[in-house]
Amino acid sequence: MESIIAELKQELVVTCKMYENRCQELEEKARESKAHLVEKTKEVEFLLADSKKKIKELEENSKLKFKNWENKGLKLKVLADAADNYHKVLAENQRLYNEVQELKGNIRVYCRIRPFLPGQNQKSTTIDYIGESGELLIVNPSKQGKDGHRMFKFNKVFDQAASQAEIFSDIQPLIRSVLDGYNVCIFAYGQTGSGKTYTMSGPITASMEDWGVNYRALNDLFGISENRRNSFFYEVGVQMVEIYNEQVRDLLVDDGPQKRYPLCMSSTQPNGLAVPDASVHPVKSTSDVLQLMHVGQTNRAVGSTALNERSSRSHSILTVHVRGVDLKTGSTSRGCLHLIDLAGSERVERSEATGDRLKEAQHINKSLSALGDVIFALAQKNTHVPYRNSKLTQVLQSSLGGQAKTLMFVQINPDVESYSETISTLKFAERVSGVELGAARSNKDGRDVKDLLEQVAFLKDTVARKDEEIEQLQMVIDLRTRSPMLNNDRNAMLIHSSSPGIPCLVGTARLGPQLSSARLVISTDKAPSEPDNSFQFSENHCMANGGDKDQKLQADAYLVGFRDVDLEDKLSEISDSVISVGTETDGSVSSSTEFGVFPESSKPVQMSKGKM
């Protein structure tokens, strides 16, 4: 038992030593850990202080940057306001410029650049810069530096990405003025294959998104007329012809390509094409227009060349006649819209035209050359403008030489191979933009004007009837003066009236070889005691002397006169108050009617004051 206790004591001693050693080790590690923690704490404190310092610096930097950003924001706002004001000023300047152009009657010129076709090198282009204010910089690929650049300026330049809707939105106000009675002409000019037909009509199977100016214009006119239906009533008619080899053909008839009409220009038809036999089709909806346009495009002459698979071989003219009636005032307005797709100018060596294509190209280039001569004459303000040199210039005469609003689309190709044609086209467009036509005028007829015109027509009819009566009375007088009875008594004047105050019936007499006839309508309430200031014709005289036909005929031939001074006074009063009629519209005299021709000199007629 004691041995066991001894072993246990020994184990206890060993265990105590182990624990003591273990405690010493732990204490040593604790001291090391404490020292390490102190160091770490110092490091953390240092880092914390450094972090606080950095935070403070960051806060200061943040405040500084915030101030900088605030200043930049203010500057940016100033720049944004300046940019906004710039665009406003630019738009205002453009509006004022358009107003000045409208007052001067300048032809607006819009340039549109055709996109590259599949297979063309898009990196090789003649277009160097397009400005917001209509600037266009063309580069010559064969020249370097400034010598190879040419700047043009138009009303607006549309790049290759411009859509049909963007094109139409800019010309929409111009087209809408047709409803207000203005004449508007829009035509596309450029080399073959530059996109003229695409701009004016769109593709052959066009959706609404690809509609050209022609379809959009008529659709817009119908929309506006529908919105104004409570105030205005509009009638719209469409006429479509083409000029093919100097022959004018109707495109809206079944046998259009075979049916030719001579172009008869007339100054009395300022609101439309002077092709009397060409059909005018009334349209009431866009569907009617689509149907007619399809017929017209089908009948139009097209052909294939090396430059254009579907080259227009004729000048197409779509004319829209609009007549509006103001339901409140009854006044009418007449407007006319010419939408012209010119055939493209082409160089025969490039288009490789032969046979019929060559003949067509010659006629096209000749008519476009005649158009250039007209533009040159207008730009130089020549007294003679050669409109009659071509059917095309005769058609455009009312738009180029009249008081219409005119716009030209100049179409160009961006490829390098077309550089010479592009420069030639842009030079022509630049010359067109300088032509002043005079301010456009609205074709409106007010109710007062209509009434005056009706009065003028009535007075003209009255004049004609009275002239016939005068001639008959002159014949009677001539017959009676040849008779012996009148030869013995032709210087006597008969004054007789059974009823004083009755209006006088006036005739005319040939008093001498230089005395012309005069028609008088005079009423008098004077008593018979004032014979010098009145004259009367009396049937009672002949009735009192038997009433036979011969005596009555003789009495009809007599005139009862007075002194020439009184006669001229009477006639002057009548001429001022009754005989002269005039109407004036838009500041110009529309019609005037004057009649009454008097002798230069005549001897006074002596009148017996005794009883007859």
Is the distance from CB of 156 to CB of 134 less than 8 angstroms? Answer: yes
3 state DSSP class of 408: strand
Q: How many CA atoms lie within 13 A of 360 on its CB side?
A: 24
Q: Residue 33 annotated as binding?
A: no
Tokens 């009418």, located at residue: 332
Q: Residue 203 corresponds to which tokens in the numbers above? A: 């593709």
Q: What per-residue string of b and e applies to 320-350 under the rule 16 or more CB within 10 Å gives b?
A: bbbbbbbeeeebbbbbbbbbbbbbbbbbeeb
Q: What is the 3-state secondary structure (H, E, C) of 275-335?
A: CCCCCCEEECCHHHHHHHHHHHHHHCCEECCCCCCCEECCEEEEEEEEEEEECCCCCEEEE
Give the whole-angstrom CA distance, residue 128 versus residue 417. 15
Is the distance from CB of 178 to CB of 221 less than 8 angstroms? Answer: yes
Identify the bridge partners of residue 336 per DSSP, sorted by sequence position: 183, 321
Q: How far apart are the first and last CA of the chain?
A: 204
Q: Residue 193 annotated as binding?
A: yes
Is the distance from CB of 341 to CB of 316 less than 8 angstroms? Answer: yes
Give the whole-angstrom CA distance, residue 402 versus residue 384. 14
Whole-angstrom CA distances from 111 to 202, 292, 425, 491 are 17, 28, 10, 83
Q: How many CB atoms lie within 10 A of CB 88?
A: 10
Q: Is 21 exposed, middle or buried (0-12, 13-18, 19+ CB in 10 A)?
A: exposed
Which of 529, 348, 329 lies closest to 449 in space, CA to CA?
A: 329
Is the distance from CB of 294 to CB of 247 less than 8 angstroms? Answer: no
Dihedral of the CA atoms 44, 49, 52, 53 (nearest 10)? -140
Q: Residue 524 annotated as binding?
A: no
Give the whole-angstrom CA distance, residue 101 versus residue 440. 10
Q: Residue 191 annotated as binding?
A: yes
Give the whole-angstrom CA distance, residue 115 versus residue 484. 97
Which of 562, 561, 560, 557 lies closest to 482 in space, CA to CA?
A: 557
Q: What per-residue string of b and e applies to 179-203 under the rule 16 or more CB within 10 Å gives b?
A: bebbbbbbbbbbbbbbbbbbbbbbe
Q: How many CA atoms lie within 13 A of 380 on its CB side?
A: 11
Q: Residue 411 annotated as binding?
A: no
Identify the bridge partners of residue 247 per DSSP, sorted by sequence position: 244
Q: How many residues does the chain have?
A: 612
Tokens 């579907």, located at residue: 310
Which residues participate in the annotated binding site? 190-197
Which residues participate in the annotated binding site for ATP? 190-197
